[in-house]
Structure 1
């Protein structure tokens, strides 16, 4: 009798116990060049990687937020109905997380506003997948989200006004400098400098901008003398002058020029990785049981943009 079931040589199924006491089969998502378009949809990936539940993990929040931003800004017209529903579930969970913790309010306001603009731009043509009724429902839902975030911001401002504790502006200059130099985005540094004249002077210090350039554009941050600069920085300097004088560089201007040319380095507390043996996707901090356990396991990080490119 021919064997029509699963190959007996395949690895066995793994079952895990859930919070309610039941058992479920461990979900494995394998993406190869041949299976991306045939077997794996975006909703399958979100379910397998537990994206909705991962929002509550602060180490994964910014990574998921970036994936969501790329999806609705560039791929919204290509998403199926299930993918749209999964995307809204993620955003709703992100809103709940912001309401509970009070963190990332500005980020969520920017995400919801951009998402609202992307959907509203389709009105009244609805060239995206879905009916007119579906898109009107989306717009109403996003409008409620915007109102919720605004209310949270208003409540936080009221609390801050009633709070008599010291603010960031009252810290010593050295402490302010240490906080600002740990920011990884020049736009945030510029925004802090707009608060008052004292913070403006701190935000204009070339030492802060030099470290930011070295961090994002292949500089040797371990070299205290900064005698070794990355190729991207050196390329920009050569365009401006023949003799490169590291002591006479406008690092703030250089940062924004390099940002336009090369983009910023993507750094997240935890990323999705892909096993190089079985091609499975998994969170960096989770346990991955590779079926090829006799070989040395290896994996590579998957950036949010690369993940979206693989799936849509």
Structure 2
């Protein structure tokens, strides 16, 4: 059945010239809203001028548009009259700057619905570049970058590559400002070097001009990473880690979820080295990452092991580690929308009374599905 509208042909897209190239106007409209914490982090980053040549613009989203583009944006829309109109209104986004970061996707293509999910558009609509500065979302985004760089880099479009390198640059600025997660930045840069060195016929795939721009971005990231230096707290800061009681230090170690962090902590000073060798530390680490059935399988039905550290490494090699994120992308089953759980999204259920009646007896928690990084990439043709 053909799509019936005022014009059977596709209306096309409206594009806007920006400092970083041509961008779709609907993406710019969706990216206008930046939460207060992200704006504060952007302002903080603007102060670190010694780390590189960073332009102190107000925000990543707002610097896309000039004044003429902002004036031409839609300022008022008629209220939707049916479900399709509601979905279209939500997808276009409100023009008052209150749109929450979200991205509608096509779950299944049919004869009536033929859609294509663009990875670069999703990154911009979900405001990934500013989300890097949120400590709750940092690990999730770094995992996505890890998967893209190590497995999908040569399959990305030019626009997606540009967004990826911009996000990686934001990670470098965040690591430099926070003095944390330096090992994650080094891991991403190491994988990036390997992928570029292993490119087809000795050169990266894609436009030469585009990759010249990418290489300039990579050089900026490397200069930021080389300038990172861990600053120890001053003499006036008290108490320091060495001054904490042994019980407090043990509680700190019990909250580390990575064995590499434990091993690095053991090299810090003598108290930590002694505590890291305790069986309780490794026992609780095993119980955090693995189920009781998995632990029993490795034990072979025997009594609890005397060496939990070796048991942990056997379990890690056999089953892999559990991935835990403070916040994940969620999928709304009602409107097929990806969004950040703590921010929410403009759902079709909130605007359509018929949907509200259908979901009266439904558990609201089942309407939202957490999407791990590996599952997130499956929505796109990579």
Structural mapping, 1:99-114, within 5 Å: 99-114=176-191
TM-score of the pair, normalised by structure 1: 0.81
Given the alignment of the two structures, is residue 34 of structure 1 paired with residue 109 of structure 2, yes or no? yes
The ranges of structure 1 where at least 4 consecutive aligned residues each deviate by more than 6 angstroms after the TM superposition are: 23-26
Residue 272 of structure 1 corresponds to 329
Residue 223 of structure 2 corresponds to 147
How far is the alpha carbon of 1:32 from its aligned partner? 0.3
**Match 1:234 to one of 274, 286, 296:** 296
Give the distance between the partners of 1:252 and 1:27, measured in 2 at CA: 42
Name the SS for the 1:198 alignment partner: helix
How far is the alpha carbon of 1:95 from its aligned partner? 2.1
How far is the alpha carbon of 1:33 from its aligned partner? 3.1
**Match 1:300 to one of 355, 363, 369:** 369
Q: Is 1:43–1:86's contact at 8 Å kept on the other side of the alignment? A: yes
Residue 65 of structure 2 corresponds to none
Name the SS for the 1:16 alignment partner: coil
Name the SS for the 2:339 alignment partner: strand
Residue 176 of structure 1 corresponds to 249
Task: Decide whether aligned partners of structure 1 residues 237 and 202 sit closer, same or farther in structure 2, where only a CA change above 3 A counts.
Answer: same
Moved more, 104-113 or 271-280: 104-113
Residue 202 of structure 1 corresponds to 275
Give the distance between the partners of 1:280 and 1:113, measured in 2 at CA: 34
Given the alignment of the two structures, is residue 71 of structure 1 paired with residue 148 of structure 2, yes or no? yes
How far is the alpha carbon of 1:196 from its aligned partner? 3.5
Task: Decide whether aligned partners of structure 1 residues 163 and 147 sit closer, same or farther in structure 2, where only a CA change above 3 A counts.
Answer: farther
Q: Is 2:107–2:379's contact at 8 Å kept on the other side of the alignment? A: no
Task: Decide whether aligned partners of structure 1 residues 4 and 144 sit closer, same or farther in structure 2, where only a CA change above 3 A counts.
Answer: closer
Give the distance between the partners of 1:287 and 1:161, measured in 2 at CA: 38
What is the aligned-residue RMSD (CA, Å)?
2.9
Q: Is 1:189–1:203's contact at 8 Å kept on the other side of the alignment? A: yes
Gaps of 5+ in 1: 219-229
Q: Is 1:31–1:281's contact at 8 Å kept on the other side of the alignment? A: no
Residue 226 of structure 1 corresponds to none
Residue 222 of structure 1 corresponds to none
Given the alignment of the two structures, is residue 52 of structure 1 paired with residue 134 of structure 2, yes or no? no
Gaps of 5+ in 2: 8-80, 350-354
Equivalent residue pairs, number: 287
Residue 15 of structure 2 corresponds to none
Residue 211 of structure 2 corresponds to 135
Q: Is 1:27–1:48's contact at 8 Å kept on the other side of the alignment? A: yes
Per-residue displacement from partner, 1:163-209 (whole Å, max 9, x unpaired)? 46454234222221111111011111011112344322111111011
How far is the alpha carbon of 1:291 from its aligned partner? 2.0
Given the alignment of the two structures, is residue 250 of structure 1 paired with residue 307 of structure 2, yes or no? yes
Per-residue displacement from partner, 1:116-155 (whole Å, max 9, x unpaired)? 33223327523x53134543543443233123122121xx
Give the distance between the partners of 1:99 and 1:269, measured in 2 at CA: 21
